[in-house]
């Protein structure tokens, strides 16, 4: 299983990262920046995962409906745990597609997390150089791991940690404000306040390279959130205009019908 993970997931992305580093080496004439290569790799990963993100958006309503019905069952059978367990099983069995989709999304996220962990733990330090494909162009070692000549990707950085938590706050705020679904006060507190603080504490000891990946991912997420919001508002505007045109046409046709009737 571990060998399959390396061959199918880790090795291809490691080679993509090294390829970007090689391109930067040519462009900068011998001054490549692994931090920029990480940003480019992040964009590639998000592009690959875009269809999954779109599927998650389409399944959001179903997921919310499922959770709402589950809460109703918990209230209805609060005094009967056996019946509650039985009805809950029936509910999730009827909505198997939503459950499978959630599990698949979780599996993908875990694989990406493991892949990134190994890249930053061993790939960037050159320990996995033997996994570079034979046809790949040669790059000089060690890699330049100082992003913008300031941030060492192998060590933690408090400023990137602050930026990461701030971006989490911005993305969650944008998500709440643009969501077509009602948001509870508990969700607002949890997503906009608690999550950024907890992430700051948890990721404090992680190397700057991982923070750079997360920050880039959050920026892309913010762009997608705003794009989807603008697209939804435009579609709503089009529907409103079509409805106005229909009502105008009906109003204009009404006097003509009255004349013909007389």
Residue 259 forms part of a structural domain: no
> Are 26 and 138 members of one domain?
yes
Question: How sure is the predictor about 167, in pLDDT bands with cuts at 50, 70 and 90?
Answer: very high
> Are 197 and 143 members of one domain?
no
Give the pLDDT confidence score for residue 4 in this predicted structure: 87
* Number of compact structural domains in the chain: 2
> Which of these three, 117, 152, 187, is where a domain ends?
152
Question: How sure is the predictor about 61, in pLDDT bands with cuts at 50, 70 and 90?
Answer: low
Residue 178 forms part of a structural domain: yes
> Are 89 and 129 members of one domain?
yes
Query: Please, what is the average pLDDT of the chain?
Result: 82
Sign of the C-alpha dihedral computed for residues 198, 221, 39 and 106 taken in this order: positive
Would you say residue 161 has pLDDT above 60? yes
Residue 256 forms part of a structural domain: no
> Are 75 and 123 members of one domain?
yes
Would you say residue 33 has pLDDT above 90? yes
Residue 33 forms part of a structural domain: yes
Model pTM score? 0.79
The H-or-E segment that residue 220 falls in is helix 208-261
Residue 211 forms part of a structural domain: yes
- Percent of residues, the chain, with pLDDT higher than 90: 26
> Which of these three, 152, 183, 202, is where a domain ends?
152
Q: Does a cis peptide bond (omega within 30 degrees of 0) precede residue 142?
A: yes
User: 105 lies in which domain range?
Assistant: 1-152
> Are 114 and 200 members of one domain?
no
> Are 210 and 136 members of one domain?
no
Q: What is the pLDDT of residues 183-194, one digit of tens each?
A: 666 666 676 678
User: pLDDT: is 65 or 43 the higher one?
Assistant: 43
User: pLDDT: is 78 or 183 the higher one?
Assistant: 78
> Are 140 and 179 members of one domain?
no
The encoded tokens of residue 173 equal: 């705020």
> Which of these three, 135, 152, 169, is where a domain ends?
152
> Are 106 and 138 members of one domain?
yes
Residue 262 forms part of a structural domain: no
Give the pLDDT confidence score for residue 38 in this predicted structure: 94
Give the pLDDT confidence score for residue 185 in this predicted structure: 67
> Are 160 and 57 members of one domain?
no
- Label residue 26 exposed, middle or buried (CB < 10 Å: 0-12, 13-18, 19+): exposed
Query: What's the angle, vertex CA 111, arms to CA 117 and CA 42, rounded to 5?
Result: 65
Give the pLDDT confidence score for residue 117 in this predicted structure: 84
> Are 10 and 43 members of one domain?
yes
Residue 144 forms part of a structural domain: yes
Question: How sure is the predictor about 155, in pLDDT bands with cuts at 50, 70 and 90?
Answer: confident
Residue 79 forms part of a structural domain: yes
> Are 109 and 83 members of one domain?
yes
Q: Give the chain's count of helices (H) and strands (E).
A: 10, 2
Q: What average pLDDT score do residues 219-226 get?
A: 91
Give the pLDDT confidence score for residue 175 in this predicted structure: 84
Question: How sure is the predictor about 25, in pLDDT bands with cuts at 50, 70 and 90?
Answer: very high
> Are 102 and 205 members of one domain?
no
């Amino acid at each position: 299983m571990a060998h399959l993970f390396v061959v199918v997931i880790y090795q291809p992305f490691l080679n993509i990262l090294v390829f970007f580093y090689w391109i930067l080496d040519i462009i900068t004439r011998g001054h490549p920046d692994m931090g920029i290569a990480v940003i480019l790799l992040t964009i590639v990963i998000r592009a690959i995962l875009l269809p999954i993100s779109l599927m998650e958006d389409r399944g959001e309503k179903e997921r919310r409906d499922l959770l709402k019905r589950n809460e109703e069952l918990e209230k209805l059978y609060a005094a009967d745990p056996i019946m509650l367990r039985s009805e809950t099983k029936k509910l999730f069995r009827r909505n198997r597609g939503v459950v499978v989709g959630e599990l698949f999304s979780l599996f993908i996220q875990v694989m990406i997390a493991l892949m990134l962990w190994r890249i930053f733990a061993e790939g960037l330090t050159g320990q996995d150089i033997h996994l570079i494909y034979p046809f790949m162009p040669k790059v000089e070692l060690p890699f330049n791991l100082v992003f913008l000549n300031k941030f060492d990707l192998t060590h933690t950085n408090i400023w990137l940690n602050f930026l990461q938590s701030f971006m989490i706050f911005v993305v969650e705020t944008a998500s709440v404000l643009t969501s077509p679904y009602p948001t509870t006060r508990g969700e607002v507190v949890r997503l906009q306040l608690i999550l950024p603080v907890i992430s700051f504490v948890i990721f404090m000891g992680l190397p700057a390279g991982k923070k750079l990946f997360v920050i880039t991912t959050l920026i892309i997420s913010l762009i997608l959130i705003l794009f989807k919001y603008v697209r939804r508002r435009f579609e709503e505007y089009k529907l409103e205009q079509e409805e106005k045109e229909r009502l105008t046409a009906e109003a204009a046709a009404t006097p003509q019908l009255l004349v013909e009737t007389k």
